[in-house]
Chains A and B, each alone.
Chain A
Amino acid sequence: MIAKRHNPLPGFGLTMGCTILYLSVIVLIPIGGLFLRTLEMSWADFWRLATADRALAAYKLTFGASLIGASINAVFGTIVAWVLVRYEFPGKRFFDALVDFPFALPTAVAGLTLSNLFAANGWLGQFLVPMGIKGSFTPLGVVIALTFIGLPFVVRTLQPVLESFEREVEEAAATLGAGRLRTFFSIVAPTLLPAIITGFALAFARAIGEYGSVIFIAGNKPYESEIAPLLIVIRLEEYDYTAAMALAVVLLVVSFLLLITINLLERWASRYQT
């Protein structure tokens, strides 16, 4: 509070007070309430509910599909960011703007249109289903939906890094006789890696909690294509609040851990940007 004495701007008390109050009422107290209610359960009960067979199957699908989706995005997101920053081609600005589409499109609409596209009579499904690739109402559908919603993260994290990347370093490597591939893997890739990993983690974190787009395309069969957030909703609809809370606490703890990881990753990545 020492700095405040030198700062003649008004309104610190008022705006800070409003911020803390609003944050507490909307976010902190309700989340704290969930944890407090969960503490009323015995540890044995909590463990039984959080690790029931159906719950384990749901975590497996949620985490597995999120991991695959985020990995697909790490690979293709890197290519997309590279192409959008380095090359000129017709429609470039349009595609660049379109990358944010999964952020802007309501998840229910995303799920609806994706499940229709990959269904047996859909535009893509009519070719893919005869080949044995069933995208709708299967665990593969979960991966498709989670890839869609995570698509912007890697691209948008990587783009500014690529834009500020100094071409002189590449030129120096080339002048010294390194081929393009060697330049890429020993000069470019290590610089991009922190940003790619950060984007991957952001896409993964988003995918873990995703609900809307998945339930339209997954088929939602217990033990097979049922994600963890859906199981929470099912327990709530059965008025089984304790089971819903146990699952929610597991998801929340994972989200918090990911949030901390992402903060550390961003700090690590920013060290590479000068």
Chain B
Amino acid sequence: MGGNVSRMNRDATAKSQRGTEESPLVKGLLVGVCGLFLAVFLLLPLINVFAQALAKGWQLYWASLREPDSLAAIKLTLQIAAIVVPLNTLFGVCAAWAIAKFEFRGKSLLITLIDLPFAVSPVVAGLIYVIMFGLQGYLGPWLDRHDIQIIFAVPGIALATIFVTFPFVARELIPVMQATGREQEEAALTLGAGAWRTFWHVTLPSVKWGLLYGIILCNARAMGEFGAVSVVSGHVSGVTNTMPLHVEKLYNEYQGPAAFAVASLLALLALVTLGLKTLLEWKQQREYQNAQVSATEAAVGRQPE
């Protein structure tokens, strides 16, 4: 009897799969095309960075990284990230709080405006700051008289980087904050907690993974930005060259292995970013599932064995 039923079930599944699934041949073909496409466009370029960086041996690799100009580029890149990421995080939290927790007119316009930097070409992003702060720009003559240099100096690089990484934190945080709702904060406030305390102990813990996710993406782009920074940097080796700009300079000077050595550090950064991103997604999903399981348990009530 039991065997009969299970065979019938199996027949039924096999029949329904014929209509809802592809034949093994088509399946294999699609998996093959997908694998080949990803291998050529993603895997090979990634492996190639490290292979070329180490093509002339470890010694040259280390030597190219420890060259003064490379060290200066690494330092500048870290410095820029240290300025840009906290500022954009602060802005992202402010924007997400206002947008997710309150209703007001023009909200969707504000969200579109926050997304705007993603639509603008990095080169144009650099250009608008040259027009604002450059010698021929609006504020250029005034800045020059007061001996303040923004374009072709660190502040300009920081500004251009802020522009291109502007939406990351806000964009990740807004949906997460909207999903958590307002009830918990309202409860905390009713119980007498102050505004800051409510924010630190109620809001922040509930959105921490989304916030971290945004910060990681923002940091990766801040360290890797090329176009916008290239326009405002002035390309002074050892002074205003970030790591990506230094890669370009070495490449133009036909120093292939050295260019790939510096590039390999940026590729490592990309790999770490991807790893952390995958870990965070997995963590978020697990917390979501746990919350659902405990909600179901609470609804059903624990059944005695």
Contacts and interface: CB of A to CB of B under 8 A. Distances in A.
Tell me, yes or no, whether A binds B: yes
Nearest to B223: A106
Interface in A148-185: 148, 151, 167, 170-171, 173-175, 178-180, 183
Contacts of A27: 113, 116-117, 163, 166
Contacts of B16: 171, 174-175
Chain B contact residues: helix, strand, loop or mixed: helix
B45 A110 contact: yes
Chain A contact residues: helix, strand, loop or mixed: helix
Given A112-B247, A174-B16, A97 B274 contact: yes
Nearest to A106: B224
Contacts of A8: 186, 189-190
A272 interface: no
Interface string A220-234: 000000000110110
A120 interface: no
Interface residues of B, number: 99
B127 A101 contact: no
B209 interface: no
B220 A83 contact: no
A15 B174 CA distance: 13
Interface in B241-274: 243-245, 247-248, 251, 256, 259-260, 263, 266-267, 269-271, 273-274
B27 interface: yes
B85 to A, nearest CB: 14
Interface of A: 1, 3-4, 7-12, 14-16, 18-19, 22-23, 26-31, 33-34, 37, 76, 79-80, 82-84, 87, 89, 95, 97-110, 112-114, 116-117, 122-124, 147-148, 151, 167, 170-171, 173-175, 178-180, 183, 205, 208-212, 216, 229-230, 232-233, 236, 239, 241, 244-245, 248, 251-252, 255-256, 258-259, 263
